[in-house]
Amino acid sequence: MGQKNVNSSQARLPIPADKIYCPDANALIDLYHAGLIKKLRPFIINGTVRIPEGVYRELKRKTDKLKRTLDKWNSNYNAVVNLASHEKLEFSRIETSYKNDFRVGTKTCAGLWRTPSGRKGIDSQVISFGKVRGWVVVSHDSSVKGACAIENVECITWEEFGRRMRIIH
């Protein structure tokens, strides 16, 4: 795995350069509650972590402290991304395919419209970035993980993400 160094006010961190990570709202909330959110700054700066617009919008409504961090990252480093017009067809397909309960093998997963983000398409947006851009989805939601498995999209938990980024000690 290729690595590159990024300047940080704290230290020079080895950062995986071959993957881009796309966290859902709950993954960012979990990282925040674990006291790890500020350690993501170098990864935001170098583009290793990108935040879907829907996740950004959802978190701006939910939490003040995390909202301020995300606002700063977006204004300083353009951390928030939107699906391009040619990618929206895949988003629509994913949203339609997984809006109701679906099966992974013999296990039934709740449809994405039954998850906390509901009909806002936020989970579908995260999965779409994974599918069309080859990004790694960061989520612990079983419906997101199930849809990612079916779509052949890599999906990891926030803990595994923290381990890969070397922010968990």
Angle at 132 between CA 69 and CA 30, to 5 degrees: 30
The two structure tokens encoding residue 89: 């067809």
Query: What's the pLDDT at 116?
Result: 59
Which domain does 22 fall in, by range? 16-165
**Helix 53-62 and helix 64-77, axial crossing angle in degrees, nearest 10:** 140
Q: Tell me, what CATH number does 116's domain have?
A: 3.40.50.1010
| Residue 45 covered by a domain | yes
pLDDT of res. 80:
97
CB atoms within 10 A of CB 75: 10
Predicted model pTM: 0.87
The total number of structural domains in the chain stands at 1
Percent of the chain with pLDDT over 70: 86
| Ranges of the chain with pLDDT below 70 | 1-17, 115-120
pLDDT at 65: 86
Evaluate whether residue 133 is within a structural domain.
yes
Domain membership of residue 93 (yes or no) is yes
pLDDT at position 163, please? 95
